[in-house]
């Protein structure tokens, strides 16, 4: 049985891409640039491409000892034995997902700008809750903006808290650049789902799931 890792540090979210080789290159650069977790998110992809990309990313992440979180698709997470699942507000039943994932996988939940959703998610077994967008982002310019005081409030439920938003304003300037130097910095500093950019979550607080 795997032990749930601490949810702490830079959390990278993949861009929508049909180019699996390029996606692997981007994620490797993000990991080398300091990403502690990776979430596979590709909304437009079909089932075959999602399975291909998620499997390839899992192999990469396992080699680098970085957890891979699957966005939305519980069946895919279980099928490839990924390290966790992230659910949006309408993406599924949190308690049911926790039951199927077991206690050794990570479960994260988007709570947007609503503290009460974070409390509910914690009660249903979430390991982390995500608020945002916290800063303006070209990825989702119309996204709900979450006030920063939520992060102080959300420490009370006792789960890790993640900020969604513009990577450049989530204090990335002091992140190590990694072996790829300038190229690595460009990818890690990016915040859009573009060909050469990767969106990031930045956890502010973490705990180890018992």
Spot the catalytic one: 8, 51, 114, 140: 140
- Provide the token pair at 116: 């009460």
Catalytic site includes residue 140: yes
CA separation for the pair 7, 163 (Å, rounded): 12
CA distance 40 to 204: 21
Pick from 149, 143, 150: nearest CA to 165: 143
Helix or strand run (H / E) with residue 140: none
Half-sphere exposure of 203 (CA within 13 A, CB side): 23
Known active-site residue 50: no
Secondary structure class of 57 (helix, strand, coil): helix
Is 8 a residue of the active site? no
How far is CA 98 from each of CA 40, 117, 120, 121, 153, rounded to the nearest angstrom? 19, 16, 13, 10, 24
Answer yes or no: are the C-beta atoms of 26 and 51 closer than 8 Å.
no
Token pair recorded at residue 139: 């990825």
Asked if 13 and 41 touch (Cβ cutoff 8 Å), the reply is yes
The radius of gyration of the chain from alpha carbons, rounded to an integer in Å, stands at: 16
CA angle 106, 103, 46 (to 5 degrees): 45
Catalytic residue among 17, 41, 55, 105, which? 41
Marked catalytic residue, from 17, 55, 110, 137: 110
Active site residue ranges: 41, 110, 140
């Amino acid at each position: 049985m795997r032990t749930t890792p601490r949810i702490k540090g830079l959390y990278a979210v993949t861009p929508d891409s049909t180019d699996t080789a390029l996606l692997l290159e981007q994620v490797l650069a993000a990991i080398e640039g300091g990403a502690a977790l990776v979430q596979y998110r590709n909304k437009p992809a079909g089932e075959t491409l999602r399975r291909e990309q998620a499997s390839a990313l899992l192999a990469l992440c396992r080699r680098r000892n970085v957890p891979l979180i699957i966005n939305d698709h519980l069946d895919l997470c279980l099928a490839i034995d990924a390290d966790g699942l992230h659910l949006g507000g309408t993406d599924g039943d949190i308690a049911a997902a926790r039951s199927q994932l077991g206690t050794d996988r990570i479960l994260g939940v988007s709570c947007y700008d609503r503290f009460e959703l974070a409390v509910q998610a914690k009660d249903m077994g979430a390991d982390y809750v995500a608020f945002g967008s916290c800063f303006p982002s070209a990825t989702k310019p119309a996204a709900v903006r979450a006030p920063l005081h939520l992060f102080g409030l959300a420490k009370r439920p006792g789960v890790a808290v993640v900020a969604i938003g513009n990577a450049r304003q989530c204090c990335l300037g002091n992140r190590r650049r990694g072996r790829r130097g300038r190229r690595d910095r460009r990818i890690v500093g990016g915040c859009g789902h573009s060909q050469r950019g990767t969106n990031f979550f930045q956890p502010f607080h973490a705990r180890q799931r018992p």
